[in-house]
Amino acid sequence: MKFTKMHALSNDFIIINNIKQHYRLNKNIIKKLSNRYTSIGFDQLLMVESSKNKNIDFHYRIFNADGNEVNQCGNGARCFAKYVKYKKLIFKNNICVSTNNSIIYLKILDNNEICVNMGTPLFNPESIPFLGILSNNSYSLFYNNKQIIFDIVSLGNPHCIIQVNNLSNIHIDLIGSFIQNHKLFPNKVNVGFMELVNSNNIKLRVFERGVGETNSCGTGACAAVAIGIKKNFLSNKVKVNLIGGSLIIKWKNNNIFMKGDAHYIYDGIIKL
């Protein structure tokens, strides 16, 4: 199988052109491919497929390292845009792709960054889904007898956002795993930990479904900013600082826009 390795803010992917090939990868194969010690290694596997709609350029499928298919990946979307242009699958800079549950618009900018229209954030529990009850305009769970207050939002995939005073004092893996696997999140959830710097600047770490903590998460950045704007402590344009680098997130006309770069690493062939 031919593949391309790419990364966006150190969130790494393999991309497979499945337009002319017809690979059917089951969960076990994807899990083996994602192993960083015995195979290629990646956070997510992205698949480029033909669109059945003449107004949509491609169909975009996303699989986490555990083999489960998910509906959205912001960093992956930027890699997707750079991939189809680099491989000459398309020659225009404005690209429309479908995912399992939405349509997203990608734009390759003059400085080679990519802007992604991530759509309208959804704050209702049904979109996550989340089975908890709203209290004082937020939600909460108890971890080790301590109340954790959080907010929820969906941007094609589900996010739980926790505002913290200092990211360096947080047990990301323990708390992230506890919330992600809680029975009130029947489909699990991505857990973001947000530290406010000022109204135009935040720090963020994200514990992702089926992966664990990653160096960056595009939809997580969009989710954190959406929550901050909704709760009136962030402006409509925010720099999000992640372990792997920074993104610019804007909320305009009820849509969230994400701007950042993406990088080609290498092409390879692996025997399945």
Q: Is 73 a known active-site residue?
A: yes
In this structure, what token pair is assigned to residue 2? 């031919």
Q: Where is 34: in which H helix or E strand? A: helix 27-34
* Catalytic option among 73, 79, 115, 160: 73
Residue 241: strand pairing partners: 203, 246
Taking the complete model, does pTM exceed 0.75, yes or no?
A: yes
Question: What per-residue confidence (pLDDT) applies to 55?
Answer: 95
Dump pLDDT digits (tens) for 87-109. Answer: 999 999 999 999 988 899 999 99
Domains recognised in the chain with CATH numbers: 2-119+260-269 (3.10.310.10), 125-253 (3.10.310.10)
Could you tell me which of 101, 32, 18 has the C-alpha nearest to residue 65?
A: 32
Contacts with 105 (C-beta within 8 Å, 6 or more apart), sequence order: 94, 95, 96, 116, 117
Question: What per-residue confidence (pLDDT) applies to 263?
Answer: 96
Q: Is 148 helix (H, G, I), strand (E, B) or coil?
A: strand
CB 200 within 8 A of CB 173: no
Q: Apex CA 74: angle with CA 43 and CA 25, to 5°?
A: 45
Residue 55 phi/psi, 5° resolution?
A: -90, 0
From start to end of the chain, where are the E strands? 2-8, 11-17, 44-50, 58-64, 69-70, 94-98, 103-108, 114-119, 139-143, 146-154, 158-164, 190-198, 201-208, 212-214, 237-242, 245-252, 255-260, 263-269
Dump pLDDT digits (tens) for 149-194. Answer: 999 999 989 999 999 999 999 999 999 999 999 999 999 999 999 9
* Catalytic option among 79, 115, 160, 217: 217
Dump pLDDT digits (tens) for 4-61. Answer: 999 999 999 999 999 988 888 999 999 999 999 999 999 999 999 999 899 999 999 9
Amino acid type, 248: I
